[in-house]
Structure 1
Amino acid sequence: MKAYVFPGQGAQFPGMGKDLYENSAEAKELFDKANDILGFDITNIMFEGTVDDLKQTKVTQPAIFLHSVLLAKTLKDFTPDMVAGHSLGEFSALVANGTLTFEVGLKLVSQRALAMQKACEIEPSTMAAIVGLDDAIVEEVCASIEDIVVPANYNCPGQLVISGSIAGIDKACEILTEKGARRALKLVVGGAFHSPLMEPAREELAAAIKATTFSTPTCPVYQNVNAAPTSDPEVIKENLIAQLTAPVRWTKTMQNMIADGATSWTEIGPGKVLQGLMMKVDRKMETTGVSSYEA
């Protein structure tokens, strides 16, 4: 069974998608349509912008979505048996399996990005990657801190990203280093994604999602909030809303896809992060990536 997965925020790079625009008539048409939908020239930023230009949340999320979805559309034999996406990547996955149209998916991603940016501006916050400790130890330390600090991304065994207030993250990193973490590295992000501090964004996105028609997908999507497969549009909606303030259970997602019969694992979109995480879970899995038109 073929599993296709889609990356999230952080995978962007200058020049992303330019080869698609230049070589695929369908991709060019959809890129031009994206400029109209978003109300600004995202293609110019993607193709010619700097690293800092691409870091803007309102740009980053649509850019990664566009790169991932248009790569999938150019594949000659794209017949997924199961899909999943890391955080933002879940929207790409939902276009890939037919739950959302390209246009609807892009509009929701744009609304999500703007809502998250506004939530980040309400209270300064951040995230940190913790490497080399059991999840239980990280969870225990997060729970012991008075400020908001929660597990945000269960990426693979021994790698957990935490999210919360700046003071809380600083304290957690200090304690976790004392407890033997190989790394406790604060990330360069706009705010505390997948934490209670995203509640204003969750409420705003919930209204948009509830007003949107979701179709029955062609194959199950394994969703972030519970790592479980579903093809029920209403369940998909509820899980997508909950995702903004809940942790990304990526380790369990990978394990469940393998248990359910995945025999190949293809990452579609910028970077190779998800391929690397799979290697931490099952080195025997046939793992590939599609990150350019040539690939």
Structure 2
Amino acid sequence: MYAALFPGQGSQRLGMGQALYGASSAAREVLDRAEAALPGLLRLMWEGPEEALTLTENQQPALLAVGYAAYRAFLEAGGKEPLLAAGHSLGEWTAHVAAGTLALEEALRLVRLRGRYMQEAVPPGEGAMAAILKLSREEVEEAVKGLKGVEIANLNAPEQTVISGKKEAVERAAEALKAKRARVVLLPVSAPFHSSLMESARERLAEDLAQVAFRKPRFPVYSNVTARPEEDPERIRGLLLAQITSPVRWVEILWDMEKRGIRRFLEFGSGEVLKGLVARTLNEAEALSVADPESLRKALEVAHA
């Protein structure tokens, strides 16, 4: 029994998915379908330039394609479907593709639009995000209370919270938090994600989502907004929209999974960010990544143990 996790922005790297493409017919099928839907995507993922890959509208479909390809490779090699699934921000979309809520091609088109709308919601240089380490959520909330233009964006781990908003406000909040002995890391992002400044992106994406059919997922997928597993297709549609301007409640998602008996987690896609967050949040949990043939082999050994 395990939970499937799918990463969000920041996990991309040049060459991601290429080894799985060569080793797994299922991964190859997924990535070929992604290339047919968005021509040029595979070359961008494998050859760059890296600056283009990191653009929000390119990064989001690339990470979705690689995450789903890794998941399908795992199933092809004998792995079973998860009891539950969750994705961090963009990764929630990948989780829904894995669960059958959305078709791959539809999801790729939608997350490219999502990324474009998010990028265009705030002029370059006007927004910022910062990770706050070594302070609890409550301490961060107390420190930013009353500061206009800054909001809690990600609750990643018990002592890792991300703030988002207008650049000047985030910088003021960062100084206030440093005075409380927090470690503050300004994030290299192009917009203030998961804040009210993304409202125009939410409104634009609503029109596109209204035209897409959602199906009941084969297994429950957690919403970043509610931190609960969701199965109703229309509710999922609304929550994916709300997610754009709402905090990612990752800590609560992991805690809820633990309460339901989950002790094993597999992160499908590029990088090991979520594997690290599991280690920082849960004391008695095992987390592995599935990103290439070697990590796939190790995940299968654990899954069948």
What is the CA-CA distance between 1:123 and the residue it aligns to?
A: 7.0
CA separation in 1, counterparts of 2:51 and 2:289?
A: 25
1:112 corresponds to which residue?
114
The worse-fitting range, judged by mean Cα deviation, of 247-256 and 271-280 is: 271-280
CA distance in 2, matches of 1:166, 1:214: 36
Instruction: Indicate the SS of the match to 2:164.
Output: strand
Corresponding position of 2:298: none
Structure 2 CA distance for aligned equivalents of residues 281 and 263 of structure 1:
12
Q: Is 1:11 matched up with 2:11?
A: yes
Which residue of the partner structure matches residue 202 of structure 2? Answer: 202
- Preserved CA contact (<8 Å) 1:6 1:90: yes
Q: Does 1:49 align with 2:24?
A: no
How far is the alpha carbon of 1:9 from its aligned partner? 0.1
**Gapped regions of structure 1 (runs ≥ 5):** none
Query: May I ask how many residue pairs the two structures share in their alignment?
Result: 292
Partner of 1:71: 70
C-alpha distance in 2 between matches for 1:85 and 1:62 = 14
User: 2:124–2:190: 8 Å Cα contact kept in structure 1?
Assistant: no
TM superposition shift of 1:145: 1.1
C-alpha separation between the residues in 1 aligned to 2:286 and 2:138?
Answer: 30
Q: Is the 8 A contact 1:24 1:74 kept in 2?
A: yes
AA at the equivalent of 2:11: A
Residue in 2 that maps onto 1:170: 171
Q: Find the aligned partners of 1:91 and 1:293 in 2 and give their Cα distance.
A: 24
Deviation at 1:286, TM superposition (A): 2.1
Cα distance in 2 for residues equivalent to 1:30 and 1:5? 18
Partner of 2:94: 92
2:285 maps to 285
Q: Which residue of 1 aligns with 2:269?
A: 269
How far apart, CA to CA, are the structure 1 residues paired with 2:29 and 2:137?
Answer: 45
Provide the residue aligned with 1:159 in structure 2.
Answer: 160
| Native 8 Å contact 1:87 1:224 kept in 2 | yes
CA distance in 2, matches of 1:245, 1:203: 10
Q: Is the 8 A contact 1:80 1:97 kept in 2?
A: no
Q: Structure 2: any 5+ residue segments left out of the alignment? A: 296-305
State TM-score, norm by structure 1: 0.95
Give 2:301's aligned residue: none
Deviation, structure 1 residue 19: 1.3
Give 3-state SS (helix, strand or coil) of 1:294's partner.
helix
RMSD: 1.5
Give the match for residue 252 of structure 2: 252
Question: What is the alpha-carbon distance in structure 2 between the residues aligned to residue 163 and residue 25 of structure 1?
Answer: 40
**Cα-to-partner distance string for 1:135-193 (whole Å, 9 max, x where unaligned):** 122112323213x1000000000110000000001100000111221x11111000100
Looking at structure 2, the residues matched to 77 and 31 of structure 1 have their Cα atoms a distance apart, in angstroms, of 19
How does the TM-score come out when normalised to structure 2?
0.92
